[in-house]
Amino acid sequence: MKVLEKGPGWSMEQVCTGKGNGGCGCGAKLLIERGDIYLTHSYDYGGGHDVYYTFCCPECGVETDVDTSKLPSLVLNEAQDKKTNRSRSRGRSK
Protein backbone atom coordinates (compact mmCIF):
# COMPACT_ATOMS: atom_id res chain seq x y z
CA MET A 1 0.00 0.00 0.00
CA LYS A 2 1.17 3.50 -0.74
CA VAL A 3 0.49 6.59 1.25
CA LEU A 4 -0.52 9.31 -1.18
CA GLU A 5 -0.92 11.98 1.39
CA LYS A 6 -0.17 11.80 5.04
CA GLY A 7 -2.79 12.69 7.58
CA PRO A 8 -2.56 15.77 9.70
CA GLY A 9 0.50 16.02 11.83
CA TRP A 10 0.41 16.15 15.56
CA SER A 11 2.79 17.59 18.08
CA MET A 12 2.77 18.81 21.63
CA GLU A 13 5.23 20.42 23.97
CA GLN A 14 6.51 18.36 26.83
CA VAL A 15 9.15 18.97 29.43
CA CYS A 16 11.70 16.26 30.17
CA THR A 17 10.89 15.44 33.76
CA GLY A 18 11.60 11.72 33.99
CA LYS A 19 8.09 11.24 35.34
CA GLY A 20 7.46 7.60 36.05
CA ASN A 21 11.10 6.79 35.38
CA GLY A 22 12.93 8.04 38.39
CA GLY A 23 12.12 11.71 37.89
CA CYS A 24 15.62 12.82 36.97
CA GLY A 25 14.89 14.49 33.65
CA CYS A 26 16.98 17.43 32.50
CA GLY A 27 14.08 19.86 32.17
CA ALA A 28 14.50 20.34 28.42
CA LYS A 29 11.44 21.59 26.60
CA LEU A 30 10.69 19.22 23.75
CA LEU A 31 8.31 19.12 20.83
CA ILE A 32 6.88 15.64 20.77
CA GLU A 33 5.56 14.41 17.45
CA ARG A 34 3.80 11.35 16.17
CA GLY A 35 6.22 8.48 16.31
CA ASP A 36 8.03 9.81 19.34
CA ILE A 37 5.60 8.13 21.70
CA TYR A 38 6.02 4.46 22.43
CA LEU A 39 4.64 2.03 24.92
CA THR A 40 6.44 0.76 27.93
CA HIS A 41 5.08 -2.10 29.95
CA SER A 42 5.33 -2.63 33.63
CA TYR A 43 4.76 -5.99 35.24
CA ASP A 44 4.59 -6.49 38.95
CA TYR A 45 5.10 -9.63 40.95
CA GLY A 46 1.40 -10.09 41.47
CA GLY A 47 0.84 -10.49 37.74
CA GLY A 48 -0.41 -6.98 37.31
CA HIS A 49 0.33 -5.15 34.07
CA ASP A 50 0.43 -1.44 33.41
CA VAL A 51 1.10 0.32 30.14
CA TYR A 52 2.68 3.73 29.87
CA TYR A 53 3.02 6.10 26.94
CA THR A 54 6.56 7.28 27.00
CA PHE A 55 9.03 9.46 25.13
CA CYS A 56 12.78 9.55 25.42
CA CYS A 57 14.61 12.87 25.72
CA PRO A 58 17.27 13.32 23.00
CA GLU A 59 19.32 15.49 25.33
CA CYS A 60 19.74 13.25 28.33
CA GLY A 61 18.17 9.94 27.28
CA VAL A 62 15.79 9.89 30.22
CA GLU A 63 12.29 8.58 29.56
CA THR A 64 9.21 10.49 30.63
CA ASP A 65 5.68 9.14 30.81
CA VAL A 66 3.00 11.22 29.15
CA ASP A 67 -0.46 11.68 30.58
CA THR A 68 -2.63 9.61 28.25
CA SER A 69 -5.49 12.07 28.57
CA LYS A 70 -3.34 14.55 26.66
CA LEU A 71 -2.80 12.24 23.73
CA PRO A 72 -5.22 11.97 20.80
CA SER A 73 -6.48 8.49 19.95
CA LEU A 74 -4.48 8.68 16.74
CA VAL A 75 -1.25 8.72 18.69
CA LEU A 76 -2.42 6.11 21.18
CA ASN A 77 -3.29 3.73 18.36
CA GLU A 78 -0.05 4.36 16.57
CA ALA A 79 1.97 3.62 19.69
CA GLN A 80 0.05 0.40 20.21
CA ASP A 81 0.77 -0.72 16.67
CA LYS A 82 4.48 -0.25 16.95
CA LYS A 83 6.75 -3.23 16.89
CA THR A 84 9.27 -1.36 18.95
CA ASN A 85 7.33 -1.62 22.18
CA ARG A 86 9.65 -2.03 25.06
CA SER A 87 9.14 -4.27 27.99
CA ARG A 88 10.34 -3.02 31.26
CA SER A 89 9.85 -4.00 34.81
CA ARG A 90 9.22 -1.12 37.11
CA GLY A 91 8.72 -1.11 40.80
CA ARG A 92 5.44 0.31 41.90
CA SER A 93 6.27 3.45 43.77
CA LYS A 94 3.00 5.20 44.22
Applying CB under 5 A, the residues found at the interface with Zn ion are: 16, 25-26, 28, 57, 59-60, 62
Q: What minimum distance in Å lies between the beta carbon of 79 and Zn ion?
A: 20
CA dist 21 → 8, 59, 91 (Å): 30, 16, 10
Of 65 and 76, the one with the shorter C-beta distance to Zn ion is 65
Q: What minimum distance in Å lies between the beta carbon of 26 and Zn ion?
A: 3
Of 25 and 39, the one with the shorter C-beta distance to Zn ion is 25
Of 5 and 13, the one with the shorter C-beta distance to Zn ion is 13
Q: What minimum distance in Å lies between the beta carbon of 21 and Zn ion?
A: 11
In DSSP notation, 35-61 reads: TS-EEEEEE-TTS-EEEEEEEE-TTT-
The SS3 of residue 76 is helix
Of 24 and 74, the one with the shorter C-beta distance to Zn ion is 24
- HSE at residue 79, side-chain half, CA atoms within 13 A, is 23
